[in-house]
Amino acid sequence: MGRIAGKVAIVTGAGRGIGAEIARTFAREGADVVLAARTRKEIDQVAEEVRSLGQKALAAKMDVTVKTEITSMVQRALEEFGRIDILVNNAGTIHPAGFLEATEQDWDAIQNIDVKGLFLCTQAVAPHMIKQRYGKIVNVSSMAAQGWYMPGFASYCAAKAAVNNLTKFTARELGVYGINVNAVAPGEILTALTYQNQTKEQVEKKLKDSRDMTMVKRLGEPRDVASLILFLASDESSFIAGEIIAVDGGRIDRM
C-alpha cells in the first residue's frame, strides 16, 4: 500500500521539473494524477509515466491564469475520478530582470501564474473538498519569499510572499472542513526554470555558489521537493496546517 493509495491528486505545472517529479512520486505511492499544464507534449509524456507506474492519469492541457480552463479541468477530473483529494499548486514562472528594467508584462505574467493561478485553482477545488470533508492543498512557494534580497527577482519575491500569505489565510478558512493547507519553500533546485536565459559561465558560477550556500553542500533536485510534498499530501501530516516548510539543504543565509 502506498502512502496516498486510492487518492486523486491534481498537480499544476506537471509537465516538467518539480511538477513532473511530484506526479511520478504520487503515482509510485498509489494516487491517480491529473496533470495540469500548458504544454500538451510534456503532460502526455508524464501521463504515460504515471500509467506505467500502474495508476490512472488525466493529461489536462490548461492555463492556470484562465478561470474557464481551470473549471473545465476540475470538471473533467471529477467526471474521470469522482473526487479530488489533493491539489498541488506548483505552476510558476520567474522572468528574471533588474528592478529598473522589469516590464509591466513581466510583473503581470509572474503575478498571474504564481498568485492568481494558485488563488483560482484553490477556489475551484475547495468546494469539492469541503463536500467530502477531506483535502490536502500544498502550495509551492520559494526561499525567495523569506524576505531575502535576490537581485533580478523583485516581482517573483513579491509573488511568492503572496503565496505564503494565501497559504496561511486558506489554511485558516479551510481547516475547519478537514482540509490541510501548507506550503513548501524550495531553495535552488535543478530544473529548466532555474537557469533559463543565462550563459554557460553564469550557470557554472551559480551552481557553485548554490552548493556553497547550503549546509549539506549539494544542489537540490526535484525529488527533494517532491518527497516533502508527498508527506504534506499524506495523512502522516494531518496535524500540520498553515506552515511554510523550507526544503533548501539548510541555506546558510537563512539562519
Ligand X SMILES: NC(=O)c1ccc[n+]([C@@H]2O[C@H](COP(=O)([O-])OP(=O)(O)OC[C@H]3O[C@@H](n4cnc5c(N)ncnc54)[C@H](O)[C@@H]3O)[C@@H](O)[C@H]2O)c1
Catalytic residues: 156
Distance CA 167, CA 88 (A): 12
**In the complex, minimum distance from the CB of residue 19 to ligand X, in angstroms, rounded to a whole number:** 5
DSSP 201-236: HHHHHHHHHHHHTBTT-S-B-HHHHHHHHHHHHSGG
Residue type at position 198: Q
**In the complex, minimum distance from the CB of residue 36 to ligand X, in angstroms, rounded to a whole number:** 6
Distance CA 161, CA 158 (A): 5
**In the complex, minimum distance from the CB of residue 1 to ligand X, in angstroms, rounded to a whole number:** 28
Q: Lay out the sheet containing 244-247: strands in order across.
A: 57-61, 32-37, 8-12, 86-89, 135-140, 179-186, 244-247
Cell numbers at 218, concatenated: 549539494
- Which CB sits closer to ligand X, 92 or 134? 92
- Which CB sits closer to ligand X, 54 or 148? 148
Residues found near ligand X in the complex (CB under 6 A): 12-13, 15-19, 37-39, 42, 63-65, 90-93, 113, 117, 140, 142, 186, 188-189, 191-194
- Which CB sits closer to ligand X, 78 or 109? 109
